[in-house]
Amino acid sequence: MVRHFYDINSVNNPESLIKRALEIKQSQVRSNEGKNKTIALIFLNPSLRTRISTQEAAYRVGMQVICLNSTDAWAWELKEGAIMDGDKSEHIKDAVRVLSSYVDMIGIRCFATLKDFSEDKSDLFIKTFMKYATVPVINLESAVLHPLQSLADMVTLEEMHPGKKLNVTLTWAPHPKALPHAVANSFAQWALRAGHQLTITHPDGFELDDQFTHGATIEYNQKTALQNANIIYVKNWCSSSDYGQPAKGLHSWILDEGKIRLAPNASIMHCLPVRRNVVVTDGVLDGQQSVIYNEAHNRLFAAQAVIENLLNS
């Protein structure tokens, strides 16, 4: 059976993967483990960090990399038995089987469409992709999860506070557009598995899926949730009660200097890209407590650890 990197449950020992990513960073590991192998990275949505860090990580283990953007690919049909007389030109099973015959590993980014909550929750696109792939598939952010980001986030926590169980607050923040739940779901899943005390704060109606947040404290008062946190992870996600619609009238949830004074020792994290002075103020992002650039830097070592792990499996 082919091993994929879909979520935390794809990994036998997440703790050792975090440690390995830190070792790779500390020793600036370069290897030939992927020599004569190729990874295809397919982006159905935009990316800066995921694309470049995964590409560079693959080079660092000696792999060749091919990138494909959505504009270059055919529109893929997912439904089994579909009569393909519409706008979809190729069935995903044909595309994935062909791709698998060309390369040794595939990464795929396929965001939530934000049209139908139950359809997005099924994560059908990447699950169908993995079903037909005969080589390992890496989730570069699916409709539901972003495990490479979360692994880098856990690497960042471990690097700052080795071996410590932390008070981590995941806070919702405003955004002019509706965004997927993937980063928040995945962060909750990895932080809870790592044994951190996770508090999630968001306005009423923005609840995340309990399968990822089970074990976290849900606190609807943002200021209460921020008090005495060691880590403040800020992220927008769209409403679960008015799914796919931008939030209105919630600008007071911005993370600003006044709020982070409630947790003067906390490190501030965001996965980026971030809308400055809408989600988080410049003062917070550029301030002493911000670790956003190290967090983004750690994407490289997280990706390298995952690729190495899949090459060895």
Is residue 104 exposed (0-12), middle (13-18) or buried (19+ Cβ within 10 Å)? middle
Query: What is the smallest separation between the CB atom of 158 and ligand CP, expressed in angstroms?
Result: 19
Residue 288 Cβ, how far from ligand CP at the closest point, in Å?
A: 23
In the list 5, 42, 47, 194, the residue contacting ligand CP (rule: CB under 6 A) is: 47
Residue 2 as a binder of ligand CP (CB under 6 A): the answer is: no
For residue 252, what are its two tokens? 């007071």
Distance set, CA 1 to CA 8, 184, 257 (Å): 18, 30, 50
Is the Cβ of residue 48 or residue 75 nearer to ligand CP in the bound state? 48
CB 132, CB 97: distance < 8 Å:
yes
- Residue among 47 and 281 whose Cβ is closer to ligand CP: 47
Distance CA 210, CA 14 (A): 21
- Of 253-272, binders to ligand CP (CB under 6 A) are 271-272
Site for ligand CP in 126-145 (CB under 6 A): 141
Contact status: 48 vs ligand CP (CB under 6 A): yes
Burial grade of 128 (CB within 10 A; 0-12, 13-18, 19 or more): buried
Bridge partner list, 108:
42, 139
Cβ proximity to ligand CP: between 49 and 60 the closer is 49
Q: How far is the CA of 141 from the CAs of 47, 68, 284, 309, 310, in angstroms? A: 10, 15, 26, 18, 17
235 binds ligand CP (CB under 6 A): no
List, in sequence order, every residue forming a beta bridge with 238; answer none if it has no partner: none
Lookup: tokens for 44:
């159905």
Of 107 and 174, the one with the shorter C-beta distance to ligand CP is: 107
Shortest spacing between CB 193 and ligand CP, in angstroms: 20
Dist. CA 183–CA 200, nearest whole Å: 13
Which range binds ligand CP by CB under 6 A, 44-52, 186-194, 198-206, 220-228? 44-52
Least gap, CB of 272 to ligand CP (angstroms): 5
**Interface with ligand CP, residue 103, by CB under 6 A:** no
Enclosing H/E stretch for 23: helix 14-27
Minimum Å distance from CB 80 to ligand CP? 30
Which is nearer to ligand CP, 91 or 235 (by Cβ)? Answer: 235
* Type and span of the H or E element at 97: helix 92-102
Least distance in angstroms from the C-beta of 109 to ligand CP: 8
Residues that bind ligand CP (CB under 6 A): 47-50, 141, 149, 271-273
